[in-house]
Each structure stands twice: as C-alpha cells, then as structure tokens.
Structure 1
C-alpha cells in the first residue's frame, strides 16, 4: 500500500525554536507509534495522529512528509543513546564492560520509549515503509560512530578500518535491537541486564575485540 503523503506546504508561519520543535516532533512520534500499534499502519491516518496530539492536520503535514516518517524521532533515541554511550567510553576499559554498566544508567527517554522503539522494529518486519525508516536512522548514526572511533584510536575518520568498524558497530546495534524486539514480542520482559548483555554480545561479535580496550 502506498505511503500516505502530505499535501503541498503553505508559507508564512513563524518557525518555533529548534528545541520546542524537536520536543513536539517527539510527542507526535510517540502518539503515532501507539496508534500504529493499536490500529495498524494502514488503519491510522495522519489526521488521527494530529488529533491525538492536538495539532491541525496542516501543521502535522508540514512537519512530516508521510505518516510512516513519524516514527523517526523515537527511533533516533535508540541510536543517539548508543552513540552517546560510546562517546563516554573510558580509556582502559573494554567496550563490553562499559556497555553493561553505562547503558542502563543513562536512559534519558520517556518511560516507554524503549518499548515504542521495539514496537516499530517489530512492525517493520511487515511494513516496508517503517523498515526503510529504521534502516535510514541506522545509516545516519554510522558517521557519528566513525568520528568517535577515529578520535578514540587517533586515526583519520576516513580510514577504511575505522569506517568498517563503525559499520560493524552500527550493524551490531541494529541486530541486537531486532533480537530484543523478537524476544519481547509476547509481552515477556527480560531483566535489563539481559537485554544489555545481548547488545554487548553483538558488539563483541562485530568488533572481534578490535579496539575493545584501547590504551589509557
């Protein structure tokens, strides 16, 4: 089914601050995912999403090109959390150890944002438009990961080994998230330590220990 798209945008409205706009987009994203989860993507319209957050349809379509693109702000929370965690990785400590302790301690999203991310990942198995957005969000994180690794290793961000390792870490995040989405699909919620351990295992497999414990 073709993605629902926005009508032509109108001009003349004064833009809000970047922070307020980001928060509003995140609120819309959360509402959209809840509606998709309850009614399905095909059974949810852009107008219903707008109504759920008290916006006019015109404002909604000015911010989102398609109703499916609403999931992007919430999905970005996952990749942003991972890159922020990597940036806090202290010298002399393995990345796996760092993930196990740091990742659970820096959950700055809403109380159910993690579950909303997993809900989108589950739906993306059947909804190609959601799958495309999930993969685009992952792709955007890769240059950020490469920059962090390059600084960490004292190498150029364009170094092919740095780029390959960044791609491997990015793939590890995607696969671990999809794995967690699958094991929690029936409503079973494993301990946070178990979920973090899955991410750590994926990272270890992706990097094969390369730069796992850089010099202090």
Structure 2
C-alpha cells in the first residue's frame, strides 16, 4: 500500500492546523470549551479568525488535528507490516509502539481535552467523530496487510483497535498517570478482539 507523499503546501497547512489545535486544547483545558471563543483560539494559534474558519467549522472542530496525530502514527506502523502477518499481534504491536512514543505535551493536551469532553457535548462529538474516522481509515490498511481476511474480521479488528485506544485514553484521562496508557490499551485490544 503506497501512499502519495504530501506536498509542501499540504504539510504547511497540516502544521498550521496542528498549531491551532494545540492552542484550542490549551484554552479548552484552562478555560473550558464553553468559555473559549473561536477568536481566542485563532489569536493563540497565530492566525486570523477568517483563516481559522477556513480550516474549521466550529471551535470544537479545531482540536481534531491533535486527536488524529496518534491514530495516523499507529496506522503508519501498520502500513509497513508484511502482507500476511497475523493481524491481532501486528495491531497490538503497533498500538504499543505508537503509545510508547507519545510525547508528554501531546499527552497533557489530550488529557485536558478528554476531561473537557465531560462538560461539553460538542467537544465529545468531535472525539467520537475522530475515532470513527480513524476506524474507517484503518480498514484499508488492515485489508492490505491481510488480503485473505474476510470483511467481518477486518471490521471487527478495526473496531477493537480503535475502541481499545479510545477506552484506554478515557480511563487514563480520569487519573494522573503521566505516561501513555500503553498496557491498558493493549489489554483492551486483546479483550475486545478476543485475543
């Protein structure tokens, strides 16, 4: 499965969106989503309000790029596995490898966002939408890695992987552990995938 490398313009756009997402996450964590405006996010992200709305429909949508970084990274781990590799161990290895590489700033921002989702249903919708999109993006990666697997198996592994990470992060966000929930995510995946 060969993916086209992003152009310079696409990389710059993605970097700007990630800067805005980090600014939004900081503000939502500090002030709460209800008390944060799109104008504040734009200013903190170093863009005009017009540019902000060119990239995002709502202030809550602004955090999507931050939430997708991890999913993109662990899918990238899976893209490189040899065709025919057993799916469950490969997915668990990718989850472990990616979460072990998570940076402390990204983890702190994610924790703050997940705590803010409890108070803001619009922010919670973004979290669930990002997870659903991650699941959909995982399917072709799994299908490439396991071309002989049936559609149901692929879907169940994608659901189990995505939900395992989602559940692990939601539980982790309730506590104060600084490191990523590597073992919890792997445990969730094993239980959800029947492994």
Shorter-chain-normalised TM-score: which range?
0.7 to 0.9
Structure 2 partner of 1:142:
135
For 1:116 and 1:89, locate their aligned partners in 2 and report how far apart those are by CA, in whole Å: 30
Aligned pairs for 1:32-51 (under 5 A) are: 32-51=24-43
Task: Check conservation: 2:42, 2:48, Cα contact below 8 A.
Answer: yes
Offset at residue 145 of structure 1 (A): 2.0
TM-score by length of 1: 0.75
- Aligned CA-pair RMSD: 2.5
For 1:47 and 1:171, locate their aligned partners in 2 and report how far apart those are by CA, in whole Å: 33
Structure 2 partner of 1:22:
14
2:193 to 207, 210, 215: 207
Offset at residue 101 of structure 1 (A): 5.6
Structure 2 partner of 1:120:
113
Offset at residue 62 of structure 1 (A): 1.9
- Which structure is higher in helix share? 2
TM-score by length of 2: 0.82
Size of the aligned set, in residue pairs, is 185
Aligned pairs for 1:44-83 (under 5 A) are: 44-83=36-75
Task: Check conservation: 1:89, 1:95, Cα contact below 8 A.
Answer: yes
For 1:171 and 1:140, locate their aligned partners in 2 and report how far apart those are by CA, in whole Å: 12
For 2:32 and 2:12, locate their aligned partners in 1 and report how far apart those are by CA, in whole Å: 28
For 2:157 and 2:70, locate their aligned partners in 1 and report how far apart those are by CA, in whole Å: 19
Structure 2 partner of 1:94:
89
For 1:25 and 1:96, locate their aligned partners in 2 and report how far apart those are by CA, in whole Å: 28
Change (3 A) 1:163 1:133: same
Change (3 A) 1:173 1:105: closer
Q: Which runs of 5+ in 2 are unaligned?
A: 1-7
Q: Mean Cα displacement is larger for which, 147-156 or 28-37?
A: 147-156
Offset at residue 95 of structure 1 (A): 4.0
